[in-house]
Amino acid sequence: MAVPLFATSLDAYKPRLAEALAEVVDGGRYILGPQVEAFEQEFARYLGARHCVGVGNGTDAITIALRALGVRPGDEVICPSFTFYATVEAAVNAGATPVYCDIDPQTFCVTPDTVRAAMTPHTKAIVAVDLFGNVAPIAELRELGVPVLEDSAQAAGARLGQRRAGALGDAATFSFFPAKNLPCLGDGGAVITDDDAVAKLARRLRLHGSDDKQTFVEVGYNSRLDELQAAVLRILLPELDAWNEARRGAAAAYMRHGLGEYAELPEPTPGAEHVYHLYVVRHRRADDLRDVLSSRGIEARAYYRVPTHRQPATAVYAPPDRELPGTDEVARTHLALPMGTQLSDDSVREVVEACASGSI
């Protein structure tokens, strides 16, 4: 039995999605209309945050949020290297100089210690990524005295203590790319904040730096969440908690079936309720394990084998005087195994059996 990497399907929602899309088409409002406004309110309420600003995608969300937090050309912004490339790309596009910090190999997230090692008098912001659906220790990072932007693209619905990922930093960003835990049917993103001034500036920046499209007070972006995508998100948001519960159930099944004997399992940050956007284990021969799984029809993938500080476009920002040993270790050893809202117990057992069979 083949097991896909993404065991998630929207088939059951297609009739309702089609109906909602048809209503938007009939209504004739496509940009910044009632669907976006309603979704912004609903998502802010879900997260327990004051403001949600819908934007074009999760990458623009980071650029816009950094600028709204006051990052100016030449400012240093601390980012992990072990993340999706867009985290760092967005900081560069905001005019900032990214300064890489290391991660904790067990949680895949930055820590106060790894961030402190990268801080200088020029540090203007920290981007902490809630990687793979875990939650970075944002409250402790805020004690370092620099604004913290939480990149929650992979962690919709996760919690740290009583609070949701995305409501922990000075601002946060989401992506609604179709593979994320809260997907839309194309590109979409959001900036989240409790700060009225940051929200106002983010709204302005997504609309060409204008409040009214008459007077342009910033050089901004054309980056709005579409009405069509907002209508989709309003249908799918109420499903998010149940979907994440199913993902946690699959993660528990991996443990129950004994995967821990064959690989290092993902560790939630203390107090975090992980949402397993990806189920990422570590193995000292990760590519060999991937090949064993593949020979049995089980998909597995290394996401960031070449971390951002070694990518052609962004290696120039690599610290000459600091190693990133945690990053290099997990870059070499990580492997994402099948995960999703519809991953059956039988499929999980099959993956674990395949991991056991390889004797690697």
Ligand X SMILES: *Cc1c(COP(=O)(O)O)cnc(C)c1O
Binding site for ligand X (CB under 6 A): 57-59, 83-84, 86-87, 129, 151, 153-154, 175, 177, 187, 189
* Distance separating alpha carbons of residues 140 and 46, to the nearest angstrom: 23
Quick one: 44 or 90, whose CB is closer to ligand X? 90
Quick one: 193 or 308, whose CB is closer to ligand X? 308
**Beta carbon of residue 177, minimum distance to ligand X (angstroms, whole number):** 4
**Beta carbon of residue 26, minimum distance to ligand X (angstroms, whole number):** 28
**Beta carbon of residue 85, minimum distance to ligand X (angstroms, whole number):** 8
Q: Are 233 and 186 in contact (CB under 8 A)?
A: no
Token pair of 275, please? 């949402």
Residue nearest to ligand X (CB): 58
* Distance separating alpha carbons of residues 153 and 173, to the nearest angstrom: 6
**Beta carbon of residue 59, minimum distance to ligand X (angstroms, whole number):** 3
Counting beta carbons within 10 angstroms of the beta carbon of residue 11, is it exposed (0 to 12), middle (13 to 18) or buried (19 or more)? exposed
Quick one: 62 or 300, whose CB is closer to ligand X? 62
**Beta carbon of residue 187, minimum distance to ligand X (angstroms, whole number):** 6
Quick one: 102 or 350, whose CB is closer to ligand X? 102
191: Cβ–Cβ under 8 A, 6 or more apart, which residues?
51, 52, 53, 55, 61, 64, 65, 68, 171, 172, 173, 199, 202
Quick one: 131 or 253, whose CB is closer to ligand X? 131
Quick one: 131 or 167, whose CB is closer to ligand X? 131
**Beta carbon of residue 235, minimum distance to ligand X (angstroms, whole number):** 19
* Distance separating alpha carbons of residues 43 and 230, to the nearest angstrom: 10
* Distance separating alpha carbons of residues 337 and 353, to the nearest angstrom: 13
- Identify the three-state secondary structure at position 296: coil
